[in-house]
Amino acid sequence: MKIYAFVGPSGTGKSYRAQWVARENNLECIIDDGLLIKNNKVLAGKSAKKEASKIASVKRAVFTDLEHREEVKEAIKRECVNGLLILGTSDDMVEKIANALELPPIEKKIYIEDVATEKEIEKAKYMRKELGKHVIPVPTVEVKNQFSGYFLNPLKVFKSKNKDSETFEAEKTIVRPTFSYLGEYTISESVVNAIIYHVGETVKGVQRMQKIRNKNTKDGVKITIELIVCYGIPIQEIMQELAQKVKAEVEKVTALNIIELNIIAKGIFMA
């Protein structure tokens, strides 16, 4: 297995350029902040950017947790990875990651200064320090379940060496981790319920919402809706439309990831 490292201080744009660096060096996978990534997909791991503090984030990134470490090691074996790019803030960090995952010695180290200009690095530092923005080198859909309740912004990047070379397209995600905020925010159950009640008023055939229960977990929210439907409209159509609208609106307004949605018709209203 060919192992390369991509090294640079925190917030200098490594994750932003990781896919391009891997592609230029014929490396199929990336290790970045606790995630094993291949072809814009997360194969295994948990993002360090989800942690509540910077210390916990660093521990996650260097795989100090046994279960996390074994999950990624197993995925590397299962995928028969031939080339891997490890991202880290220092030579010592990438060596620690390679040792933790029992990888072969690092053959080559690429530094952020090798692939980015001083101006580009300064811009990346501003985005990190002043705006608290972190980049994850995969599409938003790939990390949505790990960041329930976080506001994620998709980013599409087009890059080529010159006008005659092939254009490289990559999708990334911008997130503001908990530790980058001055405080934390929460979304109460009553807010989610209010959104669902409002959606119910727009669905033809819903006479009234009888009861709503929602439970927020680290992976997302579980919602159960009990309702009374109007006689004369197919119940399945009512429930399908309600489910689609509830999922779309709750996820759009709150950024919560709905992992379970149960809708139960408890009665029929005869006009």
* 58 three-class SS: helix
Do residues 112 and 14 make contact, with C-beta atoms less than 8 angstroms apart? yes
* 141-150, 159-168, 183-192, 215-224: least confidently modelled range: 159-168
pLDDT above 90: residue 162 = no
The structural domains of the chain, ordered by start, are 2-180 (no CATH), 189-269 (3.30.70.1350)
Predicted pLDDT of residue 216: 81
Sheet holding 153-159, edge to edge: 134-136, 168-175, 153-159
* 183-197, 228-242, 247-261: least confidently modelled range: 183-197
**pLDDT tens track for 199-227:** 999 999 999 999 999 888 777 889 999 99
Strands 206-216 and 168-175: unpaired
The two three-digit tokens of residue 116, written as one number:
């980015």
Do residues 134 and 10 make contact, with C-beta atoms less than 8 angstroms apart? no
% of residues, the chain, pLDDT over 90: 54
In whole angstroms, give the CA distance from residue 97 to residue 61: 8
In whole angstroms, give the CA distance from residue 158 to residue 52: 32
Give strand pairing partners of 30.
37, 85
**pLDDT tens track for 58-93:** 999 999 999 999 999 999 999 988 999 999 999 999
**pLDDT tens track for 7-56:** 999 889 898 888 889 989 999 999 999 999 998 888 999 988 878 788 88
Name, of 8-17, 99-108, 140-149, 159-168, the range with top average pLDDT. Answer: 99-108
The reply to whether the predicted model has a pTM over 0.85 is no
Predicted pLDDT of residue 49: 82
Q: Which among 248, 162, 165 is positioned nearest to 203, based on CA atoms?
A: 248
Element (H, E) at 91: helix 91-100
Do residues 242 and 203 make contact, with C-beta atoms less than 8 angstroms apart? yes
Predicted pLDDT of residue 155: 56
Element (H, E) at 240: helix 235-254
CA angle 126, 131, 134 (to 5 degrees): 85
In whole angstroms, give the CA distance from residue 127 to residue 186: 24
In sign, the C-alpha dihedral spanning 164, 160, 90, 13 is positive
Sheet holding 108-111, edge to edge: 41-45, 35-38, 29-32, 83-88, 2-7, 108-111
